[in-house]
Every structure is written in C-alpha cells, then in structure tokens.
Structure 1
Amino acid sequence: MIAFVFPGQASQFVGMGRSWAESSNIAAKYMDRANEVLGRDLKRTCFEGPEEDLTDTRNQQPAIYVVSCMAAALLKKEGLEPGFVAGHSVGEYAALYAAGVFDFESGLQLVQARADAMAETAAAHPGTMAAVIRLDRVVIEASCAEIESNGEGILSVAGYNSPDQTVISGTREMIEEAQSVLKDKGAKRVLPLSVSGAFHSALMTEARVQLEEAIEEVDFAPPKIPFVSNNTAKPEADPSAIKVQLAKQLVSPVRWVETMEFLKGEGVEACIEAGPGKVLQGLFAKFNPDWPCESLTDFASIQETAGKYR
C-alpha cells in the first residue's frame, strides 16, 4: 500500500510543473483552468517566475495546490491509487481534492481565499517563525509556554516536522527570545525562517474567521480515500469535521511526525510526494531512512514511480 503526501509552502520553485504540462495534456489543462478561475497568469508565474512573485503567499499557495493536483492526476492516470492521502499545511487542500472531497476549482478558490486571508492578517498582526533543530519537543513546548506567559506576545509550536525539527511561531520579540532560551537549553540550532507571518499560531485568528466563511460556501463530500488530518494525525471522514479542521489548522500546529507514525503503523510501504520539491522526502528520511518517500522531478519520474509501485 502507498500513500500520496502533498507538500506545503517552501516547496515551490520557478519552473515547477512545466515538464508535466509540456508532456501531458491532462497536466496542461490544470494550469489553463487555474488561470481562468483566478483571472491571472499563474501558469507564467509557476513556469517563468520571477521568484519574488512565486514566493508571495498569494501566488505561492495556489501555485503549490495546482501543481500538486497535476501530480495526483498524473499518478492516477498511470494507474496508482493511494491507500491514504495527507498534506502538510496548505498541502491538505490537494490531498482533499485527490480524495474527491471537492472539485479542482472549489479547492483552488479556497486556497486563494486562505492565502489572501493569511496575507492580510500577517500584515495586521506581524510575526515570524523559526525552526528548532535537535531539541526535545517537550522542552520546546514548556519553554514557549513560559516565555509567552512572562511576556506580551504570542509564542507557540507551529509544526512537528521531524524528530529533529520543530517549528515555532509568534511575535518577533517572542521568537527572538526563544532563540536564545532554546539554544541555552540544548538546541543545536534555531533558524529564523523567511516567512511573511506567524502562521499556525493565534496571530492567525482573523484569517481563521475569514477562511471559515469561505469554507462554508463550498460543498464537501466524504473522502473516497482515507484523509489524514494535520490537526489530529488520524483519518477524518466527516465532511463537517473536515471543514472545522481546515480552518482550525491556521492556528494549530502541523502534526507531521504523528502523521508519518500513523501511516507507518497502518502498513503504508512507501509514500509519494505528489507536488513540487523534495521537502517531505527530506522529512521522511529523517523520520525513517529505510522508509521510502519518492519525489517527482519531471514527467519521466512520474512514469518511473508508477511503474515501481503499480
């Protein structure tokens, strides 16, 4: 049994999806349809850049969604059917599309609404994020709670990415203090992330409210493939509950380590990173180097991967 896993922000690169679109009419139609739905040339931004346009969260999130949906469609065309789907942060939307919860256009509109809400909220409530390397999660959680209680800002865990990497999120002053405190407590490194806001924290509360309104406008169907939620690291089959979890995700940590543990425990033999980049492949390697996670670099790699696991 295999699983499709879908990447989140930071997986983008200029040129992503181009090989697939030039080699397959199925893939090309996704980009053309995205341009029609959004009313702008997202295809050009993906294929040609410039990079600063692609890294703008208003373009980045829908671009990753579209390319990930392309990947899922091509894998299925090659005869691959996953036993589970899961997505990292915004990757959940492509996972839900692949599971048949909503159509491509509805998912794209939701992702654009999400990106717009997050950008607006980040501008109104500035913050940042940092990756903590090689420090026990319990120490990180307790330290964040203590720093936050003694200060006048927001600080919390935003993501459990791998056994060695935990991401924190909050107001800039809180993050700066956490860098010093966590290094003193034994972190190998605390790396500031180049992000436009404090995502997956309470600073995104206004974005959550806006996203809830957008989600309520879309009909969700029960997943045809088991969908593993970021919030619970367990399958969620109820459409109403999935709606709640998607909005809650903006202010909650991504439980990716637990997601990998769940998939491994269910007997998933390999995962395929259905989307741009190799971020998730790297996280899987840190979790269990003997458990394969295949990344897709070009159209040939899709065919090779399908042949390997079909």
Structure 2
Amino acid sequence: MSGTAVVFPGQGAQYVGMGKDLYEQFPEAREVFAEASAAAGFDVARLCFEGPEDQLQLTEFQQPALLAVGVACWRVLAARGLEPAMAAGLSLGEYGALVAAGVLELADAARVVRLRGKFMQEAVPPGEGAMAALLGLEAGTVENICRQVMDAGAGVVEPANYNCPGQIVVAGQRAAVEAAVERARAAGARRAVLLPVSAPFHCRLMEPAARRLAGVLAEVPFRPARIPVVANVTAEPVTDPERIRELLVQQVDHPVRWEQSVRRMQREGITRLVEMGPGKTLTGFARRIDKHLEAVAAGTAEEILALVAPPEGGLLA
C-alpha cells in the first residue's frame, strides 16, 4: 500500500441517491451517516438518498453530505485492509482527507463544513459572483487573462482551481468572470463556460468567509496526521496540526492547486489514487495529469467490492 493515496472529491460530485448502497451493505457506512447527521443537525442520509435535489445543491447541506459519503467509503475500505501512504482532497474534500489521516474527528468535520458552506454562501450577495471553467489554455495564459481583466477595471477575477492540464476554473465578480470568458475564447480556449454555482469560491471575495471560519476552527481539536495530507493551498504534504488549521483557513480564499498536489504525491512515490466519494471527477483529472498514474473510483458498493475481492486479485488482494 506504500504507493497508494486516498483522495476525496469536492462540491459538484453530488447526486441524489449517493451512498445509499453503502448504507445498505456496510455497517461502517451506517455508523458514519448516523454520526454525521447528529453533528450536522439534519438527516444526512435522507438528504443523500432522497434529496430533494434543490436542498442538496445548497452549499451548507451539500458539504456535510459529500463529507459523509467520502468518509463512509474510507471507513469501509479501511476496515478491509486499505492502508494508504498519503491523503488529499479537492476543496471540501480536504476535510475527508483529514478525517482519514486522523487529524479531525468526523463529528467535528461535519459541524465545521456545514458552517463553512454557510459562510461561503453568505460572503458574496447572490448573483454578484460567478465561476467559469476555461478549457484548453495553459495556466500562464489564464493568469494573464485574469490580470488583463482586472487591469481594465472590470472587477475581481482570479484562478480558483488548477484541476488538470488544460482545465482551470476562475472565480470573481460576475462581470469580470464574463469578461475573462470572452478573452479566453478569443485566446483559443477549447471551451469557456460559466458554471452553475452559488458563489465565487477560492478567490479573494471569500475573505469574509475565511475570517469567520478561522474563529470556528480555533475551537476545534486537531491532532497530528497519521499520514501526510497534501494541502490545497501549498500542494505540499503536511502533518503538523496547527499548520493544517492555518491552511484550512487560507484554502477558502486561495486557489486549489490540485494538479500540483497530484504531481507532488507522485514525487513522494504515489503511483495509485483511490477516489473516496461519489463520481469519478478526481479519477478523470488523474488520467489527464499523467496517463501512467493508476486511479480507481471507490464511491459505490460495487466499486468497493471490486477492490476488496476482485476475481483476478487487485488493490486489497
């Protein structure tokens, strides 16, 4: 297992019905949903399994729901022998990674991410912020476009997610993001589209949310990580609890350096990523970052069972 890292997706991976098969088949998953529900203050299992979808789309409910599914996947596989060397998570997913690494208790993480979602939603009035995905451009080109838009006085727009080669998300004030989309198209972007999100995450407009989150995190116990967690902000492994606390605050209004995080894990000897949670977003990113990097999804009971007991032997055989 020395070459394996567990990774946790962020917002956007959710769907109504996620985690239901885990709940039905694995006692470890049922325990996770019960614990997360008690801590977050709502029935996480019901929201994940039944919706309604419009509530699941709300950031303050979506974040605890995704955390619960990811941690449920982790606990099921950990109980069956998965021993990763490192962990990481994209944005919200970093909290799942910290639970897996023993830094945070699930109950504390669930309480924090519900407030995190609330603070992020309230940082910018509805309709004033936006995010857009720019595909097919180099990072330097996107960074230049953002600078040009801001220098022209259109407002704030900044890189928010460095997902994989040729896929960067920008965030900021709506008019500035729209201007960046137009400039990206003119620069030859394969695609440049506004995203259906409720706030401009991971840019300087989130600074009020970061300040509020700092107050919450100051009251939460953090422990040294059992395995290194690669931080979104620095793309570097970290184990010190106080440094992790600082980086979680910074993460709210700084870009997520996912491509750089994956490459850092590779330099540490990681050859396989196991994605804990719904969908295959991070698995897809991994293949674009390095086609030789093995990446497998473990977000459903079927996928987990295929890892635990494949006919030909495999990850946990």
- TM bucket (normalised to shorter chain) is over 0.9
- Give the letter for the 2:89 counterpart: G
1:15 pairs with 2:12: no
Q: What's the Cα RMSD here?
A: 1.3
Q: Who is 1:187 aligned against?
A: 189
1:136 pairs with 2:138: yes
Moved more, 177-186 or 6-15: 177-186
Q: Is the 8 A contact 2:8 2:277 kept in 1?
A: yes
Which stretches of structure 1, 4 residues or longer, exceed 4 Å deviation after superposition?
none
In the TM superposition, residue 39 of structure 1 has moved relative to its aligned partner by 2.5
Q: Who is 1:112 aligned against?
A: 114
Moved more, 165-174 or 181-190: 181-190
Higher helix residue share:
1
1:73 pairs with 2:79: no
**Structure 1: where are the runs of 5+ without partners?**
none
Q: Is the 8 A contact 1:228 1:236 kept in 2?
A: yes
Equivalent positions of 1:266-281 (< 5 A) are: 266-281=268-283
In the TM superposition, residue 152 of structure 1 has moved relative to its aligned partner by 4.6
- Of residues 159, 162, 167 in structure 1, which corresponds to 2:169? 167
- Of residues 223, 236, 240 in structure 1, which corresponds to 2:225? 223
1:214 pairs with 2:216: yes
In the TM superposition, residue 298 of structure 1 has moved relative to its aligned partner by 2.3
Aligned length: 310
- Give the letter for the 1:32 counterpart: A
Q: Distance in 1 between matches of 2:213 and 2:245?
A: 10
Q: Is the 8 A contact 1:125 1:203 kept in 2?
A: no
Moved more, 25-34 or 65-74: 25-34
Q: Distance in 2 between matches of 1:143 and 1:285?
A: 27
Q: Distance in 2 between matches of 1:152 and 1:15?
A: 41
Secondary structure of the residue aligned to 1:4 is: strand
1:309 pairs with 2:311: no
Q: Distance in 2 between matches of 1:125 and 1:184?
A: 25
Q: Distance in 1 between matches of 2:36 and 2:293?
A: 34
In the TM superposition, residue 287 of structure 1 has moved relative to its aligned partner by 1.4
Secondary structure of the residue aligned to 2:125 is: helix
- Give the letter for the 2:140 counterpart: V
**Structure 2: where are the runs of 5+ without partners?**
none
Secondary structure of the residue aligned to 1:309 is: coil
Equivalent positions of 1:288-307 (< 5 A) are: 288-307=290-309
In the TM superposition, residue 36 of structure 1 has moved relative to its aligned partner by 1.7
Q: Distance in 2 between matches of 1:187 and 1:125?
A: 25
1:37 pairs with 2:43: no
Q: Distance in 1 between matches of 2:16 and 2:161?
A: 26
TM-score with structure 1 length normalisation? 0.97
Q: Is the 8 A contact 1:97 1:103 kept in 2?
A: yes
Q: Who is 2:159 aligned against?
A: 157
In the TM superposition, residue 297 of structure 1 has moved relative to its aligned partner by 4.4
In the TM superposition, residue 125 of structure 1 has moved relative to its aligned partner by 8.2
Q: Who is 1:241 aligned against?
A: 243
Q: Is the 8 A contact 2:127 2:174 kept in 1?
A: no
Q: Is the 8 A contact 1:102 1:220 kept in 2?
A: yes
Q: Distance in 2 between matches of 1:21 and 1:239?
A: 31
In the TM superposition, residue 300 of structure 1 has moved relative to its aligned partner by 3.0
Moved more, 282-291 or 169-178: 282-291
Q: Is the 8 A contact 1:183 1:190 kept in 2?
A: yes
